[in-house]
């Protein structure tokens, strides 16, 4: 059973919701309509990358890593830090748009790997984090999401095949009767010294008229 809570809703918003329900000729249950609206809103938020601003989503897409507007990139070269910032949909350094690789190579005399060289601090992050670490976290989340989907769509295990129907007229023993029958006792009878090989210890004609 689900628990519920009371929340405050502006009167104008509530009246707009009632009017919208009347026009759509749908359910008149306000609680159901509000719940549906909130669920749609939450589902829409999950489509955006973490730390992104859904209201005005801008940023730079670096492979699998999204850098929302306001992200700061930092590199270390020759004893000092160098910074670039995501403005709009571009990475800006010294007033020019650059790629992560261009920014990483701008202060180095050798080839640099931007993933291993640049540190990233997105809006909402408390500290800088190496770009390759962020990439590994995203790939791990994607892998876990794929595994979860596979578990949901996995087929249930096949049940054991049903026993064939018993022909009419055949009386089957109750369950457990066959297992409860004791095994034959091979101990020789009185006065008998050879191993017992007969199924029955005495002949039927010897005891039928006793």
Distance CA 62, CA 76 (A): 20
The confidence score (pLDDT) of residue 206 equals 61
130 and 98 inside one domain: yes
95 and 129 inside one domain: yes
72 and 130 inside one domain: yes
Res. 85: pLDDT tops 80: yes
Q: Give pLDDT tens digits for 172-185.
A: 666 555 555 566 66
134 — pLDDT class (breaks 50, 70, 90): very high
The confidence score (pLDDT) of residue 27 equals 60
Nearest to 83 by CA among 74, 92, 91: 74
Q: Is the pTM of this model over 0.75?
A: no
Nearest to 117 by CA among 85, 86, 73, 80: 73
Provide the residue range defining the domain that includes 82.
59-149
Name the domain count of the chain: 2
């Amino acid at each position: 059973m689900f628990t519920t809570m009371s929340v405050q809703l502006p009167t104008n918003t509530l009246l707009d919701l009632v009017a919208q329900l009347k026009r759509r000729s749908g359910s008149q249950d306000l609680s159901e309509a509000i719940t549906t609206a909130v669920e749609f809103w939450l589902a829409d938020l999950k489509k955006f990358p973490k730390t992104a601003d859904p209201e005005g989503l801008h940023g730079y897409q670096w492979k699998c890593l999204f850098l929302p507007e306001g992200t700061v990139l930092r590199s270390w070269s020759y004893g000092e830090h160098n910074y670039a910032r995501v403005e709009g949909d571009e990475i800006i350094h010294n007033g020019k748009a650059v790629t992560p690789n261009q920014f990483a190579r701008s202060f180095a005399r050798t080839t640099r790997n931007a993933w291993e060289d640049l540190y990233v601090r997105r809006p909402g992050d408390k500290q800088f984090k190496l770009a390759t670490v962020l990439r590994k976290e995203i790939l791990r989340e994607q892998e876990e999401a794929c595994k979860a989907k596979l578990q949901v769509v996995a087929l249930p295990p096949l049940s054991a095949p049903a026993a064939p129907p018993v022909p009419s007229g055949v009386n089957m023993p109750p369950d457990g009767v066959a297992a409860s029958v004791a095994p034959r006792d091979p101990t020789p009878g009185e006065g008998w010294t050879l191993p017992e090989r007969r199924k029955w210890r005495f002949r039927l004609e010897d005891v039928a008229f006793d």
